[in-house]
Amino acid sequence: MKKKTDTKAKKPWGGRFAEASSDVTERMSASIQYDARLYRQDIRGSIAHARMLKKTGILTAVELGAIEKGLREIEREIEEGRFEFSASLEDIHMNIEAVLTERIGDAGRKLHTARSRNDQIALDLRLYLRDEAAEIDKRIAMLVSVLAALAETHIDAVMPGYTHLQVAQPVRFSQHMLAHAWALLRDRTRLQSAVRASSVSPLGAGAMAGVNYPTDRAFTARELGLEGITPNSMDSVSDRDFALDFVYFAAVLGLHLSRFCEELVLWSSAEFGFIRLSDEVTTGSSIMPQKRNPDLAELVRGKTGRLYGNLVSLLTMLKGLPLTYNRDLQEDKERVFDSVDTVKLSLEGMIAMLPGMKLNTEAMKAALYRNFSTATDLADYLARRGVPFRKAHEIVGGLVRHCEESGADFFNLPLETLRGFSEHFGDGIREILNPETSPERKLSAGSTARGEIEKQIEAIKAILGGSAHD
C-alpha cells in the first residue's frame, strides 16, 4: 500500500477556495494514513450506491459498468500494494474517487451524486465493524472451546477457590475454567449487539438533510446485506453509538481477559505453583538466570488499559458535539481500529497460551489443606443435623480459633475434640473434613460437582455448535 504526500495541492472538491490549504491544515485534516484500511468497505459501498443510481436512472448501464470495473481495479491495486495514496486528498473516499475519475472521466464524477462523505464514512465504519466482528467472534469461540477442552481434560483436578484472594472452598479446576468461558460467551452477546447496531445503512442521508434525488436507500441496504436504513438523516451522519457499542464490548472483553491473566500470573508463581506456562509464552531475565516470566499473560493484561482508553476517548470526543457532522468525528476511527487490533491480538495470545499450560495437581492438592477450606462443609453438616446455621457457623468458628491457637490439624481433628464443641458431631465426619471430596457434596445447579461440570461443558459445546461459522 503506497502513500505519498502532496504539498500545496488544490482542494479537490470544487471552486469555493482560491488558495490551497496550509501545510498544518493538510496535516491535521489528513486521515488517509489510518483510514486506508477501509478501502474494501468504501469500494463495496460505492458499488452498491452506483447500482442504486443506475436503478433510479441517474447512471446509465455503460456508466455503471465503467464505475464497477474501475473500482475493482483500484481494489486489486490496493491489495497488491500498487496504489498510491495522496495525503492532500485527505481520506480514503477522495483518494479512490479522484483516481477513478482520472481513469474513467465523467462517469466517475457522477458517482458522488446523492451522497456525501458524511454518510459515506458512517457506512464504511459500520461495514468495517461487521466484517471485523465476524473474525473476532471466531476467536472468542475458539478461546471458549479451548477452555471447555481444558475443563473436560482436567475435570477431576481439585484446587482451592478464593474470595478476597484467601482460600475459601475447594472447587474443581474445570469449574474455574468454565467460569471464564461463560464470561466470554457474554462478551459474544455484547459483540452481537454491536453488530446489530451496525447493520443499518445511513447511505443516502447526504450531508445531513437528505438528498435532492429520487433514490432508493432500501435497495442500497439490501445490496450491502444490511437489515434496513437509518430513519433520520441528521442522526444518520452524527450517530456513533454503534462504534461506542463495539469499543464498550472490547473494554469488557479486555477486563475479562485481564482478570484471567492475573490468575495465570499468580498461579505460575513459586508461591502458588499451580501451573507451568510453556517456554513459547514465557521469557527469562537479562540478569537473573532462574526467572521464568509470564510475559504474554502480563502483556494481555496490560493491553486492557488501551481498550479502556479508547472507550473513554470516544465518549469524551462525542459528548460535546452538536448535531450533525463535525470534524471531531475523524478521531473515531483510530479508537475503533486500535480496539479491533488489540482485541484480536489479545485473543490470539490467550489461544496460544492456554493449550500448552501444565497443571501441578499436587501443588493444588496441598493448597486445599490451607486456611480451613472445608469449614463451610462442617457448618453445613451441623445444619443438616438440626443446628441452626448461624449457631453452626459459630461452633465451627470456635473450632478454627482452637486450631489456630493450639496448632491442631483442622482436617484431622479427633472426634472427641469435635464433640467437645458440639454433640452433633458423629461418625463420618472425617469425610466431611476431606477437601478433596468437598466439590462432590455440592448439590445446586451450576455448582462445582462433577455432574454439574459435565452439564456446563455440554451446554457450552451446544452453544458453540449452534453458532459455528462457515
> Residue 401 pLDDT more than 50?
yes
CATH topology (fold) of 374-434: Ribonucleotide Reductase Protein R1; domain 1 (1.10.40)
Cα Rg of the chain, angstroms: 30
pLDDT band at residue 30 under the 50/70/90 scheme? confident
Catalytically annotated residue among 164, 286, 406, 444: 164
Contacts of 391 (CB under 8 A, 6+ apart): 382
CATH class of 2-113: mainly alpha
Per-residue pLDDT of 49-95, as tens digits, reads 999 999 999 999 999 999 999 999 999 999 999 999 998 898 999 99
Integer Cα distance of 302 and 159 in angstroms: 27
> Residue 4 pLDDT more than 80?
no
> What per-residue confidence (pLDDT) applies to 298?
97
pLDDT band at residue 2 under the 50/70/90 scheme? low
Integer Cα distance of 122 and 232 in angstroms: 13
Whether residue 164 lies in the annotated active site: yes
Across-strand partners of 359?
A: 275
Domain residues of the chain, as ranges?
A: 2-113, 118-366, 374-434
Catalytically annotated residue among 112, 285, 438, 447: 285
Per-residue pLDDT of 282-293, as tens digits, reads 888 888 888 889
Which cell goes with 288? 537473573
Residue 106, burial from CB neighbour count under 10 angstroms (0-12, 13-18, 19+): exposed
Whether residue 285 lies in the annotated active site: yes
CATH of domain 118-366: 1.20.200.10
Integer Cα distance of 425 and 133 in angstroms: 57
243-257 average pLDDT score: 98
